[in-house]
Structure 1
Amino acid sequence: MTRSPYELSIGAEVLARLHPRLRTYFGPIPPGHVGRGAGAFTVVGTPRRWLWPVLALFARDAVMFPVWERDVPFTVENRPVTVRRGRTGGRDGRPTAGREAHPAVRAHRTFHFRTGDRTMVDAITAEPAGLVDHLGRHGRVSARLAVTVDTDGPDAGALRLASTRVSFHGLGREWSLPAVVSPRVTLTERFDDEADRQRVSLVLSAPVVGTLYRYEGAFRYAIGPDPERG
């Protein structure tokens, strides 16, 4: 991958405002390499147990999990891939034939819960509509993302992603949710110079109901050779 999905979808002047350490995270991953990070989330999930049966359905496809835990160690691996427009295709976001291909970064985030390890899978793609995040092993849920970068204040250089459209894939077509009922995903990535760590916060919310799911924490990240690719 010579350019990352972020570079392909976002103006150079916007990316130039990123914290220098975040440019590594959102920049290209060279062929034969992988981006790896390790850290801990202060919270993961939701204390609203009535939502857990719904989250359990999403857990089957490695999207979200029915938990509410604190101080959860985690690792992340980012790899450059090619996915098909509208869904990630096969298992673990790998491409399938018959659809237009788009450059992407596939992420595996492994949460080390007290009850055992669980891995969240998603693939960020550069598409004509902009950045799209295909969630889960089979990409059945997609979120179109708008991007902003803070220019001043305590979070200067932070990148924020907010969903502008959420859709589901099934029965051979894509189904978009009306804005009045659609859940909203907000992701913030910033670099903490004092702690020398990248900080991440994700919130999934819905109209009227409020916060449905969230995680936030900090980690260190670097790009190195990928043993899986020889």
Structure 2
Amino acid sequence: MSIYRSVLGDQYKRLHPKLQKRYEVPFTAKGVMRTIKGGPKWLYPFFLAGVRFKILFPEYGKDIPFTIRNTPCTGSNGEEQVHWERIFYFKNKKRYFNALMRLDSKKNLIKDYLGEPKLFYSDLAFHVNDSGQLKIESRCQRLILLNLEIPMPRMLQGMASVTESYDDERNIFLIKVAVKNPVIGTVFTYEGEFTADEIS
């Protein structure tokens, strides 16, 4: 059983059948981000620094090709984990937004470690709405320094909201992501569509 099926529990049955298969790893897909938008221009150095950690990037635009690869792996304590590799292709540049996720069964959350090496940590809450869409929202966040996880004040956090759905008419997955900060507002957003390499 995947960590996503575990965290959703009975809600999993309400998830669109294609999304059920999408969250049974391994999973690979390719698609197009119709829009990628950044926040205030003064955040550019922060996003540029994120390139080194494969977590953020300063580029934005329209109709950006991208790929997703979700790969199951095993942690040092034997727990199931999923590595996320997201690559965005900006002309002659490849930009990454990578993460390692694992299940916190006690809190019924997904623990999302962002960056390579890990730079941020965020709790993720999963929910299925009445339309069979998957909604993901970030909760508690921490900054990772060596082996320390330092709680971040809410005013410094980037709270993510993700919606994934499936368009039966076009046979395609849809995704919409927005990351916002309570002080500066929108940090970045992207919206696009993708098709799985192999899914029935």
TM-score (norm 1): 0.80
Q: 1:107 aligns with which of 57, 67, 84?
A: 84
Within-5 A mapping of 1:105-144: 105-128=82-105, 129=107, 130-144=109-123
- Contact 2:85–2:97, Cα closer than 8 Å, also in 1: yes
- Contact 2:155–2:183, Cα closer than 8 Å, also in 1: no
Aligned to 1:86: none
The one-letter code sitting in structure 1 at the alignment partner of 2:187 is L
Q: 2:161 aligns with which of 186, 194, 203?
A: 186
Cα deviation per residue 1:37-88 (whole Å; 9 max; x = unaligned)? 01100112415322111111111100010112111011111110123xxxxx
Q: How far, CA to CA, are the matches of 1:168 and 1:45 in structure 2?
A: 24
Secondary structure in 2 matching 1:56:
helix
Q: Could you say what the CA RMSD is over the residues aligned between the two structures, in angstroms?
A: 1.7
Cα deviation per residue 1:74-116 (whole Å; 9 max; x = unaligned)? 1111110123xxxxxxxxxxxxx5xx44312111111110241
Aligned to 2:4: 6
Aligned to 2:62: 70
Identical-residue share of aligned pairs (%): 26
Aligned to 1:79: 71
Secondary structure in 2 matching 1:37:
strand
Q: How far, CA to CA, are the matches of 1:160 and 1:195 in structure 2?
A: 21
2:191 is aligned with 1:216: yes
Q: How far, CA to CA, are the matches of 1:127 and 1:103 in structure 2?
A: 11
Runs of at least 5 residues in structure 2 that lack an aligned partner in the other structure: none
Given the superposition, is the C-alpha separation of residues 79 and 171 from structure 1 closer, same or farther in structure 2, using an over 3 Å criterion? closer
- Contact 2:57–2:96, Cα closer than 8 Å, also in 1: no
Aligned to 1:176: 151
The one-letter code sitting in structure 2 at the alignment partner of 1:104 is Q
Aligned to 2:13: 16
Runs of at least 5 residues in structure 1 that lack an aligned partner in the other structure: 84-96, 225-230
- Contact 2:68–2:87, Cα closer than 8 Å, also in 1: yes
Q: How far, CA to CA, are the matches of 2:193 and 2:129 in structure 1?
A: 19
- Contact 2:158–2:180, Cα closer than 8 Å, also in 1: yes
2:46 is aligned with 1:54: yes
Cα displacement (A) at 1:142: 1.1
Secondary structure in 1 matching 2:97:
strand
The one-letter code sitting in structure 2 at the alignment partner of 1:192 is D
